[in-house]
Copies of this chain bind each other. A is one copy, B any other.
């Protein structure tokens, strides 16, 4: 009637009932053992595990989750699998979630909102307990509102939308200000802002920092000097070539991120301009590769690990308590000075050369 040890024959899966039969305990006892309940004696636990491994038992998460309505999985959606910035963040997130016994379902939207939509729907059908999402370029508020209406806990990271939602990211505006002030202090006056996905909050905030630093210096941002690009080395490469071909070209650039900045470095070299001496460039993120460049890339460090860990933490709290107030966590950046602007100084810490926010 109910499944028994006879289940073991051929293809039948080994179930808790089989272990119960083998070990002489009841199904519920075995179930408690499998879930590490403190109500179980050491001896019982040992004997149950013994039977389990003898029979080759495999915990069946789909069955458990059907019953408990929890899957212990979290969907993690990033926009560029290839960017070390996200890789590092992913590691931190996995580490944090792992500790809370969650498994992460990683997926890559490649900045495509269509793909993002499909993945979101899938995650819902798979019953994830929460979602960590860096919205793809062009994501509209409706998409996230829909996500909200599904009442599955989620937190945005790195990029946000004009709406109330949990969010963890860096202080992009401050980071950009630090960078531009650095450039200004080196005497640059025509400073470009290169790259990024036009519709991301991260880019918008960095651009604002760029503009505000310029204007607090009495300069106006020349709109010909700020361009969007794909977030690739290629993007930076093309962009700098175009910029240099302008009638009144820039002498320095703040880039959307390090990937784009490295493209700019490559492009400068291709154009025969020596970065760091004939042209200053600053990146964003401080990925490992930045330090390897010749000249070393000066960049705004935003500690992806920290952002990831905080985002994971926030999601866990949100799952615990769906009704707590929404939170926006903004982490301070630091300017890491290497040689790509001509300096040879060291790390400048958080609220660097200048002021507040």
Contact = CB atoms under 8 A, between A and B. Distances in A.
Nearest to A272: B294
B294 A127 contact: no
Contact of A81 (B62, B90, B126, B293): B90
Contact of A125 (B13, B60, B288, B294): B60
A326 interface: no
A205 interface: no
Interface residues of A, number: 43
Contacts of A234: 288, 292
A108 interface: yes
B65 A62 contact: yes
Interface in A53-75: 58-63, 65-66, 69, 71, 73
Interface in A179-235: 232-234
B71 A82 contact: no
Given A81-B90, A106-B106, A60 B292 contact: no
B126 A233 contact: no
Interface of A: 13, 58-63, 65-66, 69, 71, 73, 81-84, 87, 90-91, 103, 105-108, 110, 122, 124-127, 232-234, 237, 263, 266, 269-270, 288-289, 292-294
11 contacts: A59-B125, A60-B125, A60-B127, A82-B83, A82-B84, A232-B288, A233-B289, A234-B292, A237-B292, A266-B292, A269-B294
